[in-house]
Amino acid sequence: MDIEIRDEKPGDVGPIWNVNKPAFGRVGEAALVDRLRQAGKIAVSLVAWMDVYAVGHILFTPVQIENCPAPAVGLGPMAVLPNFQRRGFGGRLIRAGLKRCREKGYGLVVVLGHPDYYPKFGFVPAGQYGLKCEFDAPPEAFMVRGLIPGVLEQTSGLVKYAKEFGDVG
């Protein structure tokens, strides 16, 4: 299957909504993406296309970390249409997104996600580096991955997401 992963364009708003809503089975994450876009809080937004259909989306937003020598981002939400899950589309989105974040000068990425999935892409428990999530989350689900050598080793403290994340229902 040919898939194109590219930066979000203005005409992609509807297709991105149409990926996020069924992928999560609710409107919360789709609405979150819209609120973040409207607030200008998107660092990287990539869309996976197959033919003329959007089948996946990944979003990275700036995060604030108490002690971090470089800009940092949070991964999420990431969505793949249910009929296309477990076919490698999510992995391709993650790899493309990490590459894009590195190109834009971000030093590290945090994610609140499945502890059996994200380590495949180099993520490790963030607590190993003295990082704490502002949300109540199991420590094994809050992970980090360095993008620029040396940044992660110089980073510690509380990680704060954009306020829009507090509104996801």
Residuewise pLDDT in 10s, the chain (169 residues): 688 999 999 999 999 999 999 999 999 999 999 999 999 999 999 999 998 899 999 999 999 999 999 999 999 999 999 999 988 899 999 999 999 999 999 999 999 999 999 999 999 999 999 999 999 989 999 999 999 999 999 999 999 999 999 866 5
What total number of domains does the chain contain?
1
Tokens, residue 26: 């609710």
Distance separating alpha carbons of residues 162 and 3, to the nearest angstrom: 30
CB-based burial, 10-37: b 16+ in 10 Å, e otherwise:
eebeebbbbbbbebbeeeebbbbbbebb
Write the CATH number for 44. 3.40.630.30
Paired with 36 in beta bridges are none
- CB contact set of 134 (below 8 Å; sequence gap of 6+): 158, 159, 160, 161
Dihedral sign, CA of 54, 98, 100, 157?
positive
> Distance from CA of residue 22 to its chain's centroid?
18
Distance separating alpha carbons of residues 16 and 10, to the nearest angstrom: 11
Distance separating alpha carbons of residues 167 and 169, to the nearest angstrom: 6
Structural domain that includes position 143: 4-167
Q: pTM of the full predicted structure?
A: 0.95
pLDDT at 1: 63
